[in-house]
């Protein structure tokens, strides 16, 4: 392990590279990263880093966002097959049709989406800024793609807006069922419930706190309880335990809480990507241009 870390440090220097990782990738990759964070933080870092190469340890849409925000840089995705199924869960033809039918609607696109979908959006959001961005939009009508659960969570907080929904979802969060959360609550009375807004509304209804991965981490760190049931992907446990070593965190009984795509990003693949300078994220020039506007608008509206 020591040897791998040393090799990685040498490669980073040689290639002028910086490593960005999401909280869901394997522990040793999080440990090796220069920056670890939620989707919003990673897009902010991707916009400002100076290194020539960004190694994005996460799924494809994260690598694409980094490339769109930084087209002149080399962006490496250690496993080119690590993709988020939800990113494909909106149909571009339907988005065009809704835009034609409701010209007054803003198309709000969760960053967990393909670059092709982002091209059709007025603005992007992540789970940590979706509420603020939707609230700040002048449009009353919002077509939110691709995640139905995040859309419903935000819509309930903005009764002054009219939401049009899409039917996509995260397969990992959607599989966390309220009955299993309630059973886990019975087994651990007193434990607070932390929920990601990609979960079903009957699960967010059970929560003491709902927020992005970064929000969940901050809440656990600042809150005074000593035990929590965590309704998101299990990769977050590494950082939860690192920041709160005295606290206890429970998974939901009977749920896998594993994103197989995030787990494809291994330390060996990070090293191999740096050695080979591949796989690189590449997008056609027209896509880079068109998808940049909604991402930059998100960053501006979240400031």
Interface residues with ligand SF4 (CB under 6 A) are 24, 59, 84-86, 112, 170-173, 198, 233, 259, 261-262
The smaller minimum CB distance to ligand 13P, of residues 194 and 271, is found at 194
Name which position in 213, 231, 271, 273 contacts ligand 13P (CB under 6 A).
Answer: 213
Using CA atoms, how far apart are residues 21 and 236, in angstroms rounded to an integer?
Answer: 12
Q: Which of residues 128-157 bind ligand 13P (CB under 6 A)?
A: 128
Structure tokens at 20: 């960005």
According to the binding rule CB under 6 A, does residue 112 interact with ligand 13P?
yes
From the number of C-beta atoms within 10 Å of its C-beta (0-12, 13-18, 19+), residue 100 rates as exposed
Name the minimum Å distance from CB 122 to ligand 13P. Answer: 20
Residue 213 interacts with which of ligand 13P, ligand SF4, none, CB < 5 to 8 Å by class: ligand 13P
Name the minimum Å distance from CB 166 to ligand SF4. Answer: 14
The smaller minimum CB distance to ligand SF4, of residues 73 and 196, is found at 196
Using CA atoms, how far apart are residues 195 and 57, in angstroms rounded to an integer?
Answer: 23
According to the binding rule CB under 6 A, does residue 39 interact with ligand 13P?
yes
Name the minimum Å distance from CB 132 to ligand SF4. Answer: 20
The smaller minimum CB distance to ligand 13P, of residues 44 and 213, is found at 213
Using CA atoms, how far apart are residues 145 and 86, in angstroms rounded to an integer?
Answer: 10
Q: Which of residues 53-92 bind ligand 13P (CB under 6 A)?
A: 84
Structure tokens at 208: 């003491």
Name the minimum Å distance from CB 233 to ligand SF4. Answer: 5
Give the number of other Cβ atoms within 10 Å of residue 52's Cβ.
Answer: 12
The smaller minimum CB distance to ligand SF4, of residues 198 and 239, is found at 198
Question: Contacts with ligand 13P: how many residues (CB under 6 A)?
Answer: 13
Residue 261 interacts with which of ligand 13P, ligand SF4, none, CB < 5 to 8 Å by class: ligand SF4
Residue 95 interacts with which of ligand SF4, ligand 13P, none, CB < 5 to 8 Å by class: none
The smaller minimum CB distance to ligand 13P, of residues 29 and 170, is found at 170
**Stretch of 35-43, 67-75, 132-140, 284-292 lying at the interface with ligand 13P (CB under 6 A):** 35-43
Name which position in 43, 65, 126, 148 contacts ligand 13P (CB under 6 A).
Answer: 126
Enumerate binding residues for ligand 13P (CB under 6 A).
Answer: 38-40, 84, 112, 126-128, 170, 196, 198, 212-213
């Amino acid at each position: 392990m020591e040897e791998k870390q040393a090799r990685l440090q040498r490669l980073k220097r040689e290639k002028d590279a910086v490593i960005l990782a999401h909280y869901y990738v394997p522990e040793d990759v999080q440990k090796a990263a220069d920056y670890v964070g939620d989707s919003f933080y990673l897009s902010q870092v991707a916009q400002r880093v100076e290194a020539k190469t960004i190694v994005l340890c996460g799924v494809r849409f994260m690598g694409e966002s980094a490339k769109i925000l930084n087209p002149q840089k080399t962006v490496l995705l250690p496993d080119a097959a690590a993709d988020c199924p939800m990113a494909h869960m909106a149909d571009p033809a339907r988005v065009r049709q809704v835009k034609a039918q409701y010209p007054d609607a803003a198309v709000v696109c969760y960053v967990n989406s393909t670059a092709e979908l982002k091209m059709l959006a007025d603005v992007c959001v992540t789970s940590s800024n979706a509420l603020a961005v939707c609230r700040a939009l002048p449009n009353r009508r919002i077509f939110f793609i691709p995640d139905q659960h995040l859309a419903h969570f935000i819509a309930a907080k903005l009764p002054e807006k009219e939401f049009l929904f899409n039917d996509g979802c995260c397969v990992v969060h959607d599989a966390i069922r309220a009955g299993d959360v309630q059973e886990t609550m019975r087994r651990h009375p007193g434990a607070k419930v932390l929920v990601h807004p990609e979960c079903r509304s009957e699960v967010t209804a059970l929560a003491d706190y709902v927020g992005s991965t970064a929000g969940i981490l901050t809440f656990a760190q600042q809150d005074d309880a000593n035990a929590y049931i965590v309704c998101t992907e299990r990769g977050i446990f590494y950082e939860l335990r690192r920041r709160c070593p005295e606290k206890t965190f429970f998974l939901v009984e009977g749920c896998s809480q594993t994103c197989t795509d995030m787990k494809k990003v291994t330390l060996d693949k990070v090293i191999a990507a740096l050695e080979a300078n591949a796989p690189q994220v590449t997008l056609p020039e027209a896509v880079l241009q068109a998808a940049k506007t909604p991402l930059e608008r998100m960053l501006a509206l979240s400031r």
